[in-house]
Amino acid sequence: MVTIISHKQSHNKDGKEFNSLVLQGGVEAVQSKETNRFYLTARRATISSTFDADTCKSLIGTKLPGTIEKVKSEPYDYTIESTGESITLDYSWDYNPNKLSMEETVNEMAEIFA
């Protein structure tokens, strides 16, 4: 399950404005490679929409089925906002509406056997 947490306005290569929705997955624990300590985070992805800004704002808090997955991509440069450090990444995070989380799978199975 993912949640719409925000929206952002962008422009396509022709200069036309469009709105995207920012999706966030559930909380997960990740272990730091540097300190070996765990921290909590949530995956985020952005998806284009045909909605105007007011509709996008009204959708904040809406939950959608699916997950946010790590997808291999061509390498690209990314600047970490908090440090200003530039790094090269070869993946992105994409929304997959067809893949169910473990919780959704359990809930579906419970409904089938209820």
Beta-bridge partners for 27: 42
pLDDT value at residue 108: 67
Domain ranges of the chain: 2-113
70 class by beta-carbon count within 10 Å (0-12 exposed, 13-18 middle, 19+ buried): exposed
Per residue in 7-38, is it b (16+ CB within 10 Å) or e — as a string? beeeeeeeeeeebbbbbebeeeeeeeeeeeee
Which residue blocks in 13-114 are alpha helix, DSSP H?
Answer: 53-59, 102-113
Q: Report the pLDDT value the prediction gives residue 60, as an integer from 0 to 100.
A: 98
pLDDT tens series, the chain, 114 aa: 899 999 999 998 999 999 999 999 999 999 988 899 999 999 999 999 999 999 999 999 999 989 999 999 999 999 988 888 999 999 999 999 987 666 766 776 677 776
- Looking at residue 18, its pLDDT comes to 95
Residue 51: predicted pLDDT? 96
pLDDT at position 107? 72
Length of the chain: 114
